[in-house]
Amino acid sequence: MSTSTVVGTRDDEQIPSTGGQRRRRRTSHQVEASAHHRGPLWTAAGYVGMVLVVLVIAVPLFWILLTSFKERGDIYVRPAQWWPDPVTGQNYSELTTRIPFFDYVRNSVIITSATSVAKIVLGVISAYALSLLRFPGRSVVFLVVIAALMVPNQITVISNYALVAQLGWRNTFQGIIIPLAGVAFGTFLMRNQFLSLPGEIIEAARLDGAGPMKLLWRVVMPMSWPTLVAFALITVVNEWNEYLWPFLMSDDETTAPLPVGLTFLQNNDGVTNWGPVMAGTVLAMLPILVLFLFLQRQMIKGLTAGAVKS
Amino acid sequence: MQSSVTQPQSAAPRSGGPPPEVGPPPRRSSGRAWEWSLAALLLLPNLLLLIVFTYRPLLDNIRLSFTDWNISSPIANPVGLSNYIEWFGRDDTKIIVRNTLIFTVATVGISMAVGLGLALLLDQKLKGRNLVRSVVFAPFVISGAAIGIAFQFVFDPQFGLVRDLLARIGVASPDFYQEPGWALFMVTVTYIWKNLGYTFVIYLAALQGRRADLDEAAEIDGATAWTRFRRVLMPQLRPTTFFLSITVLLSSVQVFDIINVMTRGGPQGNGTTTLVYQVYQETFVNQRAGYGATVATIMFVILLAVTVVQVRFMDRGKQA
C-alpha cells in the first residue's frame, strides 16, 4: 500500500452497498483468518470467549435497564432482585417531573445539530481548500489545523471560560457552540478523502470549465459521500456526548444538554434515588444506541479512517 | 444534512448531460489570485476558531500560570514561579500524579491488550461474530457521563450489580465509594469498559488489512503460533499500535466526565483526582485559576514530552 493509505475495513458480510461510489479496498493477499485448520478445541474456546465478552458488556446495561422499571422497594433490597415485579413506569414519570427532562433533550438537539452542521461545513470547505486549491503556505496551514488535535480541551477551558464570560455568553447556546465549532479531525479526514480521488476526473472537470465551487459540489462531493457520512456520524456522536464544556457553561435547563442535566438529577438527591436516575441514563443512551444500531458500519469507518498508516 | 443529501441526484445526469463545451483557455495569473482568495475565504472561519479557542488559550494558559488569578476578578497579579514551586512542594501533588499514572497506564495497557485480543478472536471465522463485534463497540458511542452515573449504581456497595455477583460467590463487596484504592479501581474499570471498543475496531481493521500470506509462509516453515504472533503479526501491527498508544493515551489522560459524575475526585478529598480533574477543581471549585493554569501547563508539557518520546521510539523501531 502506498503512503497515507487509509486502513481499510474489509467489507464484511453484513454490509449495505455504498452504491459503488467508492472502490472497495482489498489487498490481493487478504485471506480469511486461518481458523479452518484449527482444532475443534480452539473453536470451542473462541465461542466461550465470545460469550464471556457479550456478558461483560451486556449484563451491566441490562441491569440498568431492569432497574429503571423496578419499584423503589425492589431496588433497595438484598439479595438483589433482578426482575422488576411488578414492572413499573413510575421512574420514568418521576424523572420527567423532577427535572425538566425534555428541556435537556431540546438543548442537546440544538447544541448537537448546530455544532455538527458547523463542523461538517467547516471541515468540508477547509479540506477542499487544503487538498484541491493551490496557494502558498498550504502545508503550513494544514499543520496548524491538525496540530490542534494535540491540544487537550481541558487545557484550553480556563482561558476560554474567561473569554466567553467576558462576552456575556455564559449560559447561552452561542457560548457553548462557537468555541466547539473549530474542526481539526474532520478536516484531516475529508482532506485525505479528497486527495484519494482520481486526479484525472478532477482535471477533466477543470478542463470542462468547472469553477472551484462547481467542482466541489458536482464532482468532488458526489464521490465522497461515504466518508462525509462517516465524518458526520462521528461528529454527531461526539457532540451529543460532549460534557466538560457545556458543564462549565450551563447553569440550568435553559441551555444544559442531557449529560449535564443528568448530573443535576444526581445532585438533587442527598441519597441517590436510583430508579429515576437509571431511567434518565437509559433515555440518554437510547438515541445514540439506536443511531449506532443502524449506522455502525459508517461510524466505524470514520474512526478507522483516522488511523492512518504513514 | 437533509438538503445536502439531495446533491448526488442532481449531479447524476452529468454523464449523459450537456454537450461537452470546450473550456476557455486557463487564465493563469488572474485565475491564481482568485484561487488564493477563495482558499483564504474557505479556510478563514475554521482557522479563526482554532486560533481563538485552541491556540490562544494554550498560550494564555502559560501566562495565567504565573499569576494569582481567581477566574472571576478582572485583575491577575503576577506571582512569578510561586504556583510552580507550590505544585512541586504540595503533598497532594504526589497522590494526584500517582492516581494519573495508575489510571493512565492501566487504561492504555489493558484496553490495548484486550482490544487486540478481542480483535484476534473476532477476526476468526466464528458464527455470530458480527453481533459480538457490535456489542463490543457499542459502549464507545454512549455518553461517558451517562455510563459513569449508571456504573456508580453498578458498583453501589449495598445494592449494586457487583455486590450481588460477589455475594453469589461468597465474597463481600469492597467499599467502592469510600476507599480510595477501590474508587480508583471503579473509575478505571468503567473507563476501560466504555472505551475498549475503540482499540478493538482499530486493531480489527488493521488485522483485516494484513498480509495473511506471510503468516501462512511462517506456518509452513514450522513456526509456532507464539512465534508467528511475535515475529510476523506484531511487526505488521506496529503502526497501528503506535497510533493507538498516542490516541488512547491522550484521551485517557483527559478523562473528566466519568470521574466527575462518579466520585468528584474523592473519596477522602483526592482519592481519584487526576491532573485534569485537579485543573478543574482548582480553577472552578477553589477559584484558583492561576494555580489551575499551572497544573494545566505542567500537564501539557508532560503530554508533549511523552508524545515526543513515543514518536522517537517509533522511528528507532523503524530503523531497527
Tell me the per-residue pLDDT of B125-139, one tens digit each, with 9 for 90 and over. 889 999 999 999 999
Who wins on pLDDT, B267 or B18? B267
Lowest mean pLDDT across A15-24, B58-67, B127-136, B164-173: A15-24
Q: Which domain does A83 fall in, by range?
A: 40-88
DSSP string, B152-175: HHHT-TTTSHHHHHHHHTT-PPP-
Residue A74 shares a structural domain with residue A121: no
**Distance between CA atoms of residues B136 and B129, nearest Å:** 10
- CATH number for the domain formed by residue range(s) B94-274: 1.10.3720.10
pLDDT at A1 over 50: no
Do A46 and A183 fall into the same domain? Answer: no
For residue A191, the distance in angstroms to the closest alpha carbon of chain B comes to 13
Using CA atoms, how far apart are residues A262 and B20, in angstroms rounded to an integer? 59
Residues 194-223, chain B: which have Cβ within 8 Å of A? Answer: 198, 201-202, 204-209, 211-213, 215-216, 219
Q: Do A237 and B40 touch (CB under 8 A)?
A: no
Residue A32 lies in a domain: no
* Grid cell of A160 as nine digits: 476560554
For residue A49, the model assigns a pLDDT of 93
Number of compact structural domains in chain A: 2
ipTM: 0.84
Report domain extents, chain B: 94-274
**Same domain membership, residue A191 and residue A132:** yes
**Burial bucket for residue B169 (CB in 10 Å: 0-12, 13-18, 19+):** exposed
Q: How far apart are CA A290 and CA B101, in angstroms?
A: 36
Say yes or no: A107 and A80 in one domain. no
Do A181 and A60 reside in the same domain of the chain?
no
Residue among A180, A288, A299 minimizing CB distance to B142: A288
Residue where a domain terminates, one of A28, A60, A88: A88
Phi and psi at residue A292, to the nearest 5°:
-60, -45
Answer yes or no: do A113 and A226 share one domain: yes
Q: Between residues A179 and A34, which one has the greater pLDDT?
A: A179
Q: Which of A261-275, B98-112, B238-252 has the highest mean pLDDT?
A: B98-112
3-state secondary structure of B29: helix
Q: Is the pLDDT of residue A127 over 90?
A: yes
Task: Name chain B contacts of A247, Cβ cutoff 8 Å.
Answer: 260
Average pLDDT over residues B146-151: 94
SS3 for B67? strand
* Side-chain-facing half-sphere of A204: CA atoms under 13 Å: 11
Question: Which of the listed ranges A41-50, A168-177, B234-243, B301-310 does the model predict with the highest average pLDDT?
Answer: A168-177
CA dihedral B216, B220, B226, B230 (to 10 degrees): -60
Q: Which pLDDT does position B16 carry in this prediction?
A: 39
Are the Cβ atoms of A151 and B260 closer than 8 angstroms? no
Rounded Cα gap, residues A268 and B238, in angstroms = 49
Q: State the number of CA atoms in the 13 A half-sphere of A235 facing the CB.
A: 31
> Is the pLDDT reported for residue A144 higher than 90?
yes
Tell me which residue of B123, B203, B51 sits closest to A159, measured CA to CA.
B51
Which tens digit of pLDDT belongs to each residue from B30-59?
567 888 899 999 999 999 999 999 999 999
Query: Residue B304's closest CA among A143, A245, A155?
Result: A155
The answer on pLDDT for A45 being more than 50 is: yes
| Distance of alpha carbon B288 from alpha carbon B69, whole angstroms | 6
CB distance A150–B304 less than 8 Å?
Answer: yes
User: Per-residue confidence at A265, pLDDT binned at 50, 70, 90?
Assistant: confident
A2 lies in some domain = no
Give the per-residue pLDDT at A25: 42
Contact flag A34-B156 (C-beta cutoff 8 Å): no
Indicate whether A25 belongs to any domain.
no
On whether both A79 and A104 belong to a single domain, the answer is no
Quick check: B315 contacting A, CB < 8 Å? no
The predicted-structure confidence for B190-238, as pLDDT tens digits, reads as follows: 999 999 999 999 999 999 888 778 878 888 888 888 888 888 888 889 8
A121, A259: one domain: yes
Q: Quick one: average pLDDT of A15-29?
A: 38
Q: What is the pLDDT of residue B143?
A: 93
Q: Maximum CA pair distance of chain A?
A: 76
The answer for residues whose C-beta is within 8 angstroms of residue A116's C-beta and 6 or more apart is A232, A235, A236, A239
- Residue that wins the pLDDT comparison between B318 and A247: A247
Spatial CA neighbour of B64 closest among A250, A157, A151, A246: A157
Q: Are residues A60 and A148 in the same domain?
A: no
Q: Which three cell numbers stand for residue A61?
A: 446495561
Please give the residue of chain A at the shortest CA–CA distance from B282.
Answer: A158
Distance CA A258, CA A105 (A): 6
pLDDT attached to residue B2 = 36
A212 found inside a domain: yes
Encode pLDDT of A276-309 as tens digits. Answer: 999 999 999 998 899 888 888 888 887 787 665 4
Give the pLDDT confidence of A155-205 residue by residue, as tens digits. Answer: 899 999 999 999 999 999 999 999 999 999 999 999 999 998 888 888 888
Mean pLDDT across A207-221? 86
The CA-based diameter of chain B, rounded to the nearest angstrom, is 84
CA distance A95 to A89: 10
* Polymer length of chain B: 320
Instruction: Judge: A12–B130 Cβ closer than 8 Å, yes or no.
Output: yes
A95 lies in some domain? no
Chain B residue closest to A212 (CA)? B35
Instruction: Indicate the helix (H) or strand (E) that contains A123.
Output: helix A101-132
Do A69 and A162 have their domain in common? no
Contacts of A135 in chain B (CB under 8 A): 35-36, 39-40
Query: Cβ B219–A31 below 8 Å, yes or no?
Result: no
Please report, for the domain that includes residue A121, its CATH number: 1.10.3720.10
What mean pLDDT is predicted for residues A248-262? Answer: 92
**How sure is the predictor about B27, in pLDDT bands with cuts at 50, 70 and 90?**
very low
The residue out of A55, A88, A121 marking a domain boundary is A88
By three-state DSSP, how is residue A19 classified? coil
Asked if B149 and A225 come within 8 Å (Cβ–Cβ), the reply is no
In the prediction, which pLDDT does A306 show? 62
| A193 contact partners, CB below 8 Å, separation of at least 6 | A127, A224, A227, A228, A305
User: For residues B257 and B145, is the Cβ–Cβ distance under 8 A?
Assistant: yes
Residue type, A152: P
Taking CA atoms, B306 is separated from B245, B250, B310, B313, in Å, by 11, 10, 6, 10
* pLDDT tens sequence across B71-96: 888 888 899 999 999 999 999 999 99
Dihedral of the CA atoms B139, B143, B147, B150 (nearest 10)?
Answer: -130
- The rounded Cα B308 to chain-centroid distance in angstroms is 17
Q: Are residues A81 and A213 in the same domain?
A: no
Q: Does residue A261 sit in the same domain as residue A145?
A: yes
Contact B143 A285 (CB under 8 A): yes
User: Does the structure show a pLDDT above 50 at A89?
Assistant: yes
How many Å from the N-terminal Cα to the C-terminal Cα in chain A? 10
pLDDT for B31? 64
Question: How confident is the model at residue B318, as a pLDDT?
Answer: 59
What's the whole-number average pLDDT of chain A? Answer: 83
